[in-house]
Structure 1
């Protein structure tokens, strides 16, 4: 079949190229409309119970797109008219931002923040600083005392040292456009900042907006990396053809996929751009292998370009297709994780790898068939080939000696065991405070640390208390249970504070008893608690109590503030909530977890944690299946597994050491690494097999494979490694830098394993699928006879 296919493609090469050109132009037109943006719903595993709770109650208790702003003074406190004016202005201006939930803007200047007072005229519940600012020093002092004496304000919206005020705002998830919200908030901040006053801001919309804001920088780095790849290919290959064909293959297949996903209405997440280099590396790798095989056939066999291209395609089609099938299968496994972002990344990756079957395995040999030997000259000759040949001769000596080959395998087993031991400690969810997407010293992470040092925390989670009937939340035993839950959770590290209906009722009871602290508690029965709530909400607008209870007092929420969203912090809080609810049941109500950003992250972490072993196991199963199918041997399926496991355990142990966690952004890279770790080995193994069945000499076969496919492995790995590490030095996004390092590490381990571990295994184990009888249909015909010996001689030369 491969023989007929190669002959057909070369015979009808003009029609093939014309067809590919038309497809590229059409899909390229649609690719121009590709949307590069972040969609928050893509991060949520839709069927997870936490996400369902968040979706059900987010409009009242607050969603995951909360933005926190802190107005901080350098000297003195915020109780000055000019500072209070800034707080008021920000609070008002936030109402006009796109997709804002106007009922979820809370600050010292909002109507929601009230103070309950008792006097001879009765009970009053009045906003602290709404609608007007205090007009005199005396009124400012009254405001200061009211804020300090109100537990819903002091430490919550005014820092305990009085140097900062907090403003929180929530957005409607289905309407929010981060590309619009971020600059609008930034404009508000720029208009109010003056000397001696800082406004710090954090939250998911701000983080997503920053990522989009860095897109021009990212595209500049992309252009720089493409330039470096082109230069390195020119240096290593020496010809324009050697430089342009790999770039053309990666570019054309990328255009096809971008056009298709645009037609499908799929957006590209900005953070996924770095992953595209991992996928594009496959096109570069396969193209270099085809280029190398083409040169080998034309030089040693004396063939013309058409025959050399046809024969190169015949010999490399199976390992190339096997490598691409493994890559695509490993990516599709990620789609089983029910998180839309991962499913989109999986689909894009699988389609791109699939496109390479045409854009690389077909287009490149067809293009090579037009190469004229008499018109092609080396443009660069830096004696790179001399150094590469010397290294490959060293690999040959190392892997064709029983003692040294055994030593190689022993080192590989030890490395596998050690890296596997440390890889088990990899963190699921964020591993460090702040955002792992940005550098620790970024303005966002410094703002996050500053806010969390003065307030309970910028990250929120709500736990719902669902009642079976109206007024369930007024019952004393329910309120006591909620209070105990709050005290229990506030003792956990990472939880900065909690708020609930209890915190609304207790101050009213104390005020009614002339400020006696003994009465800072809830009422003795539901009727009394209802009266307290009536006093607290007198003159309030509908929705002012919404973040703690619905209007029937049947379903309520405990709002928890977190100082970080590390994976361990979230898991501890979720488990503690489950343990408390199980140990302290109350008739008629049920605790339901969990909403807000922390709830959504908890859902994603749980899905990833439960599915990571399954995903890796399925990816390895895919590898086994395709290898066994391609070589018609279950032994072949098992042969390559240790290599893949080694490259993955080494990378995971590096992630654990460097504090790089496994989350929705890094998981696609980890999955694609399953296929990445074995591509090089397929080419080495197939060339060993080809040479052995011609010459019958194991040492000569290994020398032939390393001097041909091995050279292409070195060129590919060196080119991609040297280019992707540029992310680390030039990107303002820590995620891109770390993924660049991971890709470089993966390629390094994979390349070294393919050059020394695989040949050592072949030499010592003599697997039947390599050294067994030639199967019917396989063709090592006379048109290439003797090339194994010829290349073996070249490898030793």
Structure 2
């Protein structure tokens, strides 16, 4: 991302006729001999891919958000058809504003909402539950035995008698706190969702589904009822709505970046060209995403931002080289070729480093993260054409204004005489190559890193806030979640253990007893409100068949009694087990889905399963399989994130180290380049602890992005420094030349990228705001770390015994031959 700001050091050729067009490498000659073909090809590609970009869909998939290879998720996917409501479902709460639910007008409004929701495509109608659905039933013990029926009386007509019967049935069904609010001011409709749209046969589009909920369900609100909707599909819908607002931030980023570049170069036409080509790179990416079958989701929305910022930053360096050459009188065509000649190989290395830094995210077993890794890598690969080829060719046509070229030269000369406070600091950076200063900087860095290392130990994997942390706390969705938590005894955070047996073996005493013991252990776990299981229901039914005697509130060892109780339970509580009585969910209702809560519940369930699971070939095998329910799925996702983060560190730093070794041919230079990156990662994780941000799917890519982009600062600073040192220059002189030729550009790029992403902090999507803050920190800190730590580390690792610079290095114009020689050696 950061490219060398070279002074020419090459012949100043004012007349194009004096330039040897056969000079330069083969690729350079091919590109500049076919300039118009390059421009027209890129223009055509932009138009074609722009057409496909307009067809790119914005959506998110439930199953792409979860680690499908996780053993826990495999268990869920294997039995999800037999576990209705324990995966992807929607919950609609209809609240009475003027009283309670025992009102004919309210019940009529509830029926209208129920029937409307029932007909929306994507609803699994077989398992939809509400007061108006016959699947919601009551049961009670009478003198004749156990009686039961649908909660809504079959003869309901709105009369006081039928409403009294409804009130009585709700009490007997035991659904107060789950489907009816504790204060009876609202009731809930629970609707599992299908994965496939029943009419189109395509994957359910959550954006469209959320829109239907707003248009057909939320629109039924009136001055008498209020409607609240929660669930993954509604959350995704709100995130997608937020994406359209985020598009505005993309425009703001474009303007901010363009202003930074213009005030640095003072050339309007080339600034507009660079912005246009950077936007074209984004268009190419979006078009390719559509052609490759990708969708734009709330997590991949950062990719266009990054590709634009990286493309514009690289392009600025191309223009900077041309500014320097034209300012010294070189023809614009020759200047473009000089810049291509000097920067192509280094720029290609930088982009390859970026690609590797992003690509390593594919090792995280979460499809949405893999998609982000692949699409970002594709976007950076696009920059090879738009940044390395198109920009020099385009600038060879339009050049830069003479005023801007002269301004660049005068700015460099004035920089030498700068006596402002900032100027003194800037021109004093080379003193960091001296032992006292280098020792002090490294000592401070060690202390800061040590403190942050201790702080980052408190970093949690998962959510740290109730509700949906992806959205703001005051968002409508989180207000709806808060209402449900306040008014209902059972939360929507369900952790389900799947009890797998042979057919009809869920009836066995040993199976039910083990299930009951696990339920008891979960109930004693902090964060668990209550549990629901077949064992609990069987205990109640057994007591009911014995005239409600509390002595029989147990699981009978008499198999005939237990069989009868299980049969009654399956009739009175549909979904409590499957028809074969072989897959039975044990559900724990959690107070929240925070990381600590999930870890405690997961540990209890895992420990119990390890001790009580029997072999599949046992006479009566029983297996307690984790995990289903939204909380169970999130727990499995957290495990994959925690497991993948260490592997990702090894991969991203290993790949970066390898590319640095190939670039510098020196392990010492590689260490100098990597230490600021490692320090930035540690401080960033400490910052996450201080800001209350958990490590999860949304924040995991930030680390890889910061490393992949941040290494460029070190690449270009060290390239100049090492080139000068190889020509005999002292470390102090070499680093001063590095600052002169690349330092200001490094600062410009760090500020440009930080200014582009800090606008995310105002995003309605909270996790994007968190990403914006973290990325801003990493871009700035990587830049500062490179400028400050590289000279200090170089004093101890890259400081040969040369204290006086040879005469040829008194002039800054002598650096380019050294760089050209180094590039030729690398080739």
TM-score scaled by length of structure 1: 0.90
Cα deviation, residue 627, structure 1: 0.9
Contact 2:67–2:73 under 8 Å retained in 1: yes
- Name the structure 2 match of 1:567: 595
Distance in structure 1 (CA, Å) of the matches to 2:593 and 2:185? 25
Contact 1:436–1:734 under 8 Å retained in 2: yes
- Counterpart pick for 1:676 among 686, 709, 728: 709
- Counterpart pick for 1:456 among 474, 485, 490: 490
Distance in structure 2 (CA, Å) of the matches to 1:293 and 1:375? 14
- Name the structure 2 match of 1:795: none
Task: Summarize deviations over 1:172-198 as a string: whole Å, max 9, x none.
Answer: 123322122212223344344333543
Task: Summarize deviations over 1:548-576 as a string: whole Å, max 9, x none.
Answer: 21112122111232332222222222221
Range 160-169 or range 50-59, more displaced: 160-169
Residues 279 and 409 (structure 1 numbering): CA distance in 2 closer, same or farther, change over 3 Å?
farther
Contact 1:694–1:786 under 8 Å retained in 2: no
Superposed counterparts of 1:316-715, under 5 Å: 316-372=343-399, 377=404, 391=422, 393-401=424-432, 402=434, 403-453=436-486, 454-468=488-502, 470-536=503-569, 545=574, 547-584=575-612, 588-693=621-726, 696-715=729-748
Task: Summarize deviations over 1:768-796 as a string: whole Å, max 9, x none.
Answer: 7999x9xxxxxx9x99636699xxxxxxx
Contact 2:429–2:788 under 8 Å retained in 1: yes
- Name the structure 2 match of 1:265: 293
Residues 786 and 220 (structure 1 numbering): CA distance in 2 closer, same or farther, change over 3 Å?
closer
TM-score scaled by length of structure 2: 0.86
Residues 530 and 683 (structure 1 numbering): CA distance in 2 closer, same or farther, change over 3 Å?
same
Distance in structure 1 (CA, Å) of the matches to 2:746 and 2:522? 54
Distance in structure 2 (CA, Å) of the matches to 1:162 and 1:705? 72
Contact 2:145–2:546 under 8 Å retained in 1: no
Range 656-665 or range 383-392, more displaced: 383-392
- Name the structure 1 match of 2:122: 99
Residues 520 and 73 (structure 1 numbering): CA distance in 2 closer, same or farther, change over 3 Å?
farther
Task: Summarize deviations over 1:221-243 as a string: whole Å, max 9, x none.
Answer: 22222222223322332211452
Contact 1:116–1:508 under 8 Å retained in 2: no
Task: Summarize deviations over 1:364-399 as a string: whole Å, max 9, x none.
Answer: 222222344566558999x99979965465233133
Distance in structure 2 (CA, Å) of the matches to 1:357 and 1:393? 37
- Name the structure 2 match of 1:39: 61
Distance in structure 2 (CA, Å) of the matches to 1:34 and 1:428? 32
What is the DSSP-based 3-state SS (H/G/I as helix, E as strand, rest coil) of the residue aligned with 1:272? coil
Range 700-709 or range 436-445, more displaced: 700-709
- Name the structure 2 match of 1:747: 779
Task: Summarize deviations over 1:277-325 as a string: whole Å, max 9, x none.
Answer: 233322222222222222223335x432233222223333343222211
Distance in structure 1 (CA, Å) of the matches to 2:748 and 2:597? 44
Residues 347 and 273 (structure 1 numbering): CA distance in 2 closer, same or farther, change over 3 Å?
same
1:54 and 2:76 equivalent?
A: yes
What is the DSSP-based 3-state SS (H/G/I as helix, E as strand, rest coil) of the residue aligned with 1:591? strand
Contact 1:59–1:172 under 8 Å retained in 2: no
- Name the structure 1 match of 2:788: 756
- Counterpart pick for 1:156 among 178, 184, 203: 178
- Name the structure 2 match of 1:303: 330
The CA RMSD over aligned residues, in Å, is 3.2
1:279 and 2:307 equivalent?
A: yes
What is the DSSP-based 3-state SS (H/G/I as helix, E as strand, rest coil) of the residue aligned with 1:464? strand
Contact 1:98–1:180 under 8 Å retained in 2: no
What is the DSSP-based 3-state SS (H/G/I as helix, E as strand, rest coil) of the residue aligned with 1:598? helix
- Name the structure 1 match of 2:4: none
Aligned length, in residue pairs: 772
- Counterpart pick for 1:200 among 190, 214, 228: 228
Extract unaligned runs of 5+ from structure 2.
1-22, 198-203, 615-619, 819-827
Distance in structure 2 (CA, Å) of the matches to 1:568 and 1:242? 53
Extract unaligned runs of 5+ from structure 1.
774-779, 790-797
Distance in structure 1 (CA, Å) of the matches to 2:379 and 2:440? 39
Residues 404 and 118 (structure 1 numbering): CA distance in 2 closer, same or farther, change over 3 Å?
closer
Contact 1:428–1:661 under 8 Å retained in 2: yes
Cα deviation, residue 626, structure 1: 0.6
Superposed counterparts of 1:66-215, under 5 Å: 66-74=89-97, 76-117=99-140, 123-133=146-156, 135-151=158-174, 153-175=175-197, 176-195=204-223, 197-215=225-243
Distance in structure 2 (CA, Å) of the matches to 1:376 and 1:783? 22
Distance in structure 2 (CA, Å) of the matches to 1:593 and 1:60? 15
